């Protein structure tokens, strides 16, 4: 059964999906993991770009 988790500080979110087919479960698990990595990468790149261009909250 695919299980995805997100942990930030003391908060933790777990998601479990059972589609009844082991191959389908692994496929969905892979998409969840890849999607989470992609989302964190985009967030990190955006934060880096904001800091590089000087558009962060302390300059407002």
pTM above 0.75, yes or no: no
pLDDT of residue 28: 87
Beta bridge partners, 4, equal 15
**pLDDT value of position 16:** 75
**In the chain, domain spans:** 3-59
Q: What one-character DSSP code corresponds to residue 57? A: G
Q: What pLDDT, on a 0 to 100 scale, did the predictor assign at position 42? A: 93
Q: What is the pLDDT of residue 55?
A: 60
**What 3-state class would DSSP assign to 14?**
strand
Phi and psi based region of residue 25 (left: phi greater than 0; alpha: psi -120 to 50; beta: remaining): alpha
Tell me which residues of the chain have a pLDDT lower than 70.
1-14, 55-60
Determine the 3-state secondary structure of 18 from DSSP. Answer: coil
């Amino acid at each position: 059964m695919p299980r995805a988790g997100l942990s930030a500080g003391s908060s933790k979110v777990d998601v479990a999906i059972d589609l009844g087919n082991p191959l389908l479960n692994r496929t969905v698990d892979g998409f969840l993991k890849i999607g989470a990595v992609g989302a964190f990468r985009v967030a990190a790149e955006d934060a880096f770009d904001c800091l590089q261009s000087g558009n962060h909250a302390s300059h407002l």
